Structure 1
Amino acid sequence: MSFYSHDVTIQAPKDRLLSLMTDPFLLSGIFGHVNILRVYDQKQGKYVDFSYLSSFSNRFLVVYVFGTPDTKMHLLEGEMEGPILEAGSIVYRGWTKDQKFVWGIRFEAKAIKPMETLVRIFVNADYNVSGLDRLLGRTPFALAQHIVEEHIIPYVKHYLKTESGIGLEGIIPTKLLDEQGLFSQIVPKITKVSGDVEYGVAVIKGENVNGKMVIKNGKISGIEVNHNGQTLQGQDAMLELVSLLTPVRVTLYAVNLDEVLMSKLEKYVLANTTQGFSSI
């Protein structure tokens, strides 16, 4: 049985990463060697097409793919289970039908800051060397390492999106908080989450009320609210929101100012460099 572990720090909230790590379709795609075909239906006691699934299931019929179009493709039928939620971790595991290839991967996530998470990845892979070694052309240890360093890490580096869906000239704000309820009950959560936020904006929406709150260097630096047609700012706006007896929705976004400034600087330099070349 081979084993490989790797720690990676990701600039994203822990809850966002957990939602990604519990998506078996996303994870199987990232692994690169797993193709989900069907899903096991507990009620019917068999694998079925997804349209016939009666309830949630984390057990899948899969095809394991090894090799490349440039060499030779090898397909092996098998199964995969996951996500499996264990104490403080998310687990996926699988095997081929003949049990000659068995693997497992475990993720552990620890929030370092609101927008920074340490993810620990543990992979084990075991297969019948006399059989699969010729197909894979690698040792069991190298295969476990390959899954992490040549699939998971490149995905995190180049493709992972942690955005809220709002673009800011190529800069993607990160959603840190999305709560509904009385504003007076949400304020402590805003304060807690904002501690390490350099710059952020909270959007407030409710019945006959909407507004925004600006966060700078971990503190509320400004607030403006429109309630029943009346616009309030500062302390008056805060008091109005705290006294509301109807629920509101508060969504807090944060952005890395260094990233914004660097993006603008790069665009400026590129534009001026282009102009310089065109004048020659």
Structure 2
Amino acid sequence: MLETYEIELKTSKSVIRTALMDPFLFSGVMGHVNILQILDKRSAEYVAPGKLSEPGVDYRVLYVFGTPDTKLHTVLGYMKGPELEGGSVLYSGKSDDHKFEWKAHFYVDDAPAGSKIRIGLEVNYKTSTLDRLIGKSPFELAQHIIQDHIIPYLKLYLSKEWQMSQDQGIFANEVMRIEGDIAELTTKVRQLIESINSGFIVIKGKNIRASIQVLNKRPGLMKMIKGNQIITGNDVLANLILESGEAVAIAYDIDMERILDMTSEQISRTIEITGK
């Protein structure tokens, strides 16, 4: 059965999408999914997070049903996500015996006061035994997860965290993160640039850090610092691709409208009228 819900929040679209792209955060918010292992792309095996070298989007999980006040039931299974599908963020999962399956879609759009989120959660049981163990019908479980777990998190926690960052003057939201060899990361700079409208990209290695400003999905000022050496312009990418070693590249989106509003408000308070 498919349960749908729509909600508007005074939170930026990029903040919401960033939260949805974190599988550990998502599984925690769901309240009934515990990640045990992650499929390592290099070894093609499920491993504990501490032994992971290149994370994939497939997980071994433990499904937990019940509450501390009732008897708990656990089922081993799988989860997959996040995946991007038709403008939505998609997660899905199933039990080992395929008798319990679910799929969640999240669509995030701009709204006058922030963002609008449309949530679709489909849950299916293949046997009536699960009805008795879980204590809810498939539709009731989907409704429970959305209204008792996802919505409270969005309203009470995500919005609060975003407001605190705005109050502290922090307007940058992480949109995409890529880790690996620094030369390989450099070849993915275009992908990072296209993930944000206005903001910046930070690349950091053991002895190197670089930044690329982005405006309207176009690269602007580039700067790289290596020891006491400062490199700017197109030479940044040319030098980065010659480097080696592990690094991380992160794309940050900036809420330009919010920055301009706050800046103009602060400046207007300092202006004095010197009339005769």
Q: Same fold (TM over 0.5)?
A: yes
Aligned to 2:230: none
Structure 1's 55 and 73: CA in aligned 2 closer, same or farther, altered over 3 A?
Answer: same
**CA shift for structure 1 position 156:** 1.3
1:137 paired to 2:135: yes
In the alignment of these two chains, the number of paired residues is 198
1:167-178 matches, cutoff 5 A: 167=167, 178=199
CA RMSD of aligned residues (A): 3.2
Structure 1's 118 and 182: CA in aligned 2 closer, same or farther, altered over 3 A?
Answer: closer
Partner deviation per Cα, 1:107-155 (whole Å, 9 max, x = no partner): 0010124x60011000000013422011111111111111100111111
Aligned to 2:13: 14
Percent identity over the alignment? Answer: 35
Partner deviation per Cα, 1:18-63 (whole Å, 9 max, x = no partner): 1011000001000000000011113322211112222121111000
Q: AA paired with 2:66? A: G
SS state of the match for residue 58, structure 1?
A: strand
SS state of the match for residue 135, structure 1?
A: helix
Aligned to 1:149: 147
Provide structure 2 residue ranges, at least 5 long, that are not aligned to the other structure.
174-197, 201-211, 220-254, 272-276
8 Å contact from structure 2 (residues 171, 259) kept in 1: no
Provide structure 1 residue ranges, at least 5 long, that are not aligned to the other structure.
187-191, 202-213, 225-232, 234-280
Partner deviation per Cα, 1:142-200 (whole Å, 9 max, x = no partner): 111111001111111211121463646xxx875586446499x99xxxxx942xx5983
Larger Rg: 1
8 Å contact from structure 1 (residues 163, 175) kept in 2: no
Find the aligned partners of 1:71 and 1:51 in 2 and give their Cα distance.
33
1:1-280 matches, cutoff 5 A: 2-113=1-112, 116-160=114-158, 161-163=161-163, 165=165, 167=167, 178-179=199-200, 181=213, 193-194=256-257, 200-201=261-262, 214-216=263-265
Q: Which runs of 4+ in 1 moved over 6 A?
A: none
- TM-score normalised by L of structure 2: 0.63
Partner deviation per Cα, 1:63-112 (whole Å, 9 max, x = no partner): 00001121101010000000011120100000000111000100001012
